[in-house]
Amino acid sequence: MRKRLRPGASCAVALGLALSLGACSGGTAKHASANAGTITVEAPNSAPTFTNNFNPFSQSDTGPGLNIIYEPLVASNRAKGGVLIPWLAKSWAWSEDGRTATLTLRPGVKFSDGAPLTPADVVYSLDLRLKNAKLGGASYSAVKAVGSDAVAVTWKSAAYQQLSDLKTVNIIERKLWTGRNPLTYVDKSPVGTGPFSVKTFSPQAVTMASRADYWGGKPTMSFLKYTAATSANIQTQLQNNSIDFCTCDIDAKSYVASDPKDHRFIMAWDGSVVSVMLNNAKAPFNDVHVRRAFAQAVDSEAIAKLSSSKLPLQQPPASPTGLSTKTYKDWIDPQHLAPRKQDVAAAKASLKAGGYSVDGGRLVKDGKQLPVTFVAPTDTPFIKTIAQLVVQQIKQTLGIDVRLSGGSNTGDEISKGHFDLAATWMSSGEGIYTALNQMNGSLASPIGTMSNNNTIRFRDAAYDKILAKMAGTKDQTRLKELGMRAQAIIVDQVPTIPLFSSGAAGVANTMRWTGWPEAANPDYLANTGSGTEFITTLLHLRPAKG
């Protein structure tokens, strides 16, 4: 049964997306005398120190909490399969041809400086993305104000499923940003529509004050404190109860065992699937025979089991469709629900069918050696462990030596296509179309150029035609049928190697704050990496009694 929020906060049952592993919360002190009006959290993807810049468009390091200072028009409930729900827009209606969505703004929304949200602010915010590809670009083609309380967003073709693209667009106040360069401006006093505003800043901690005039209702905590905890000390800080909530990679099993009464595990199945990325644009993985061979050689069940060793639950091995079985069970073709089984004989046969052999640990074709490198960041222990397991299995099954490579920051290298194999969280809990559209060929850029989408550079004309049809339908039965056709192509062409369904996993402490989402069947996800999800979580929390 869905929980009901107090009046004024009904839309805050939304959730956003985050591709990170670990969500934890713990009391900041063992004593009731601690500041019960403050909740302390670890910033998502926390750096050792914070940067005093809260520009939501900045391409470099910024201060924490941007995702709860600024808000989008719409959000999605990833706990419910990515269904789209209202946020700053209270409703929307489509034109007859499905190209234009008219969004009516929620009344009473104010920026933290007291100015009301207007259609002009929304048009300005959307136009920035439309006119400046460096800000992320836009799928829509035009936007305009409609009367005093609505905006019309237009796409070049029917785009029922692309309304969800607006989830990633932060709405800013036009009068404050006119004349500013969004890419270079240093903003130390951010103004947004979210429930908190920055109160104090230091390189180690940022404190935000809750807003009494927030459109969704004032949060019960007076202050929200972000601390710059790192992977080296986060476990200790949680055990000492100095952090109330975090999205972090820790030993959740031991944390819960240390205090079963107050330390709880929270698993936010957000649609993500830990996967091995294959670079479809360069040899040898531009050949489907090699992609099939590597997928058949990997034992995803064994990797899922080992990767769950620090969690109180088992993350399930993934469907070969690349879709999370926890989020999209009802959308996945039943014949593709079960994980792909390791089949060494079939893997070797796939290599042979493509004209490949293995000589001295090297993949060989037409007398030419094809070295294979797995790029894994050294500063992400979890992903590095996944890479090591995959490398071991490829060596054991196919006899191929895969070289591990990577430094403290490999993101740019991967985005530019300078890799053979890499591991990451793929898929998405934002809905079946969004999840499948990540491998849309039109989003793939040439090797050497940055790509924020379709980083594996998969291209298949038949697949892209199916995606276009999915975007243009609002019929759920038709959407499901098209989705299954797309899944069949993914299973056959193997653009990635899905390993296991995952999400924002970690622990929660009920010592000081209660109201965390239920573990088994949550109405919303607890995730600091997604603004709307984190806002929803904060609005549900209440001070613990005693």
Rounded to an integer, what distance in angstroms lies between the CA atom of residue 62 and that of residue 56? 8
What SS3 class is residue 322?
coil
Low-confidence spans in the chain with pLDDT less than 70: 1-36, 44-47, 231, 379, 407-409, 520, 546
DSSP 336: G
**CA proximity to 533, closest of 502, 501, 504:** 504
Number of other residues whose CB lies within 10 A of the CB of residue 253 = 16
The pLDDT score that the predictor gives to residue 196 is: 97
The pLDDT score that the predictor gives to residue 208 is: 97
Do 476 and 522 share a structural domain?
no
Rounded to an integer, what distance in angstroms lies between the CA atom of residue 253 and that of residue 156? 50
Rounded to an integer, what distance in angstroms lies between the CA atom of residue 527 and that of residue 510? 16
The pLDDT score that the predictor gives to residue 8 is: 30
The pLDDT score that the predictor gives to residue 27 is: 32
| β-strand pairing of 205-210 with 223-227 | antiparallel
Alpha helices in 338-431 (DSSP H): 344-353, 381-398, 411-415
- CATH number of 158's domain: 3.90.76.10
- 8 A C-beta contact, residue 344 and residue 283: no
Residue 201 inside a domain? The answer is no
Do 334 and 282 share a structural domain?
yes
The pLDDT score that the predictor gives to residue 428 is: 85
What domain count does the chain have? 2
The pLDDT score that the predictor gives to residue 546 is: 62
Sign of the four-CA dihedral 333, 455, 412, 374: positive
What SS3 class is residue 463?
helix
The pLDDT score that the predictor gives to residue 19 is: 23
Residue 168 inside a domain? The answer is yes
Strands (E), 34-135: 38-42, 74-77, 83-86, 89-94, 100-105
- CATH number of 433's domain: 3.10.105.10
State the Cα torsion 385-506-531-319 to the nearest 10°: 60
The pLDDT score that the predictor gives to residue 36 is: 57
Rounded to an integer, what distance in angstroms lies between the CA atom of residue 174 and that of residue 320? 45
The pLDDT score that the predictor gives to residue 452 is: 77
Do 512 and 495 share a structural domain?
no
Number of other residues whose CB lies within 10 A of the CB of residue 26 = 31
Do 538 and 396 share a structural domain?
no
Could you list the residue range(s) of the whole structural domain that residue 380 is in? Answer: 272-501
Do 518 and 477 share a structural domain?
no
Average pLDDT taken over every residue of the chain: 88
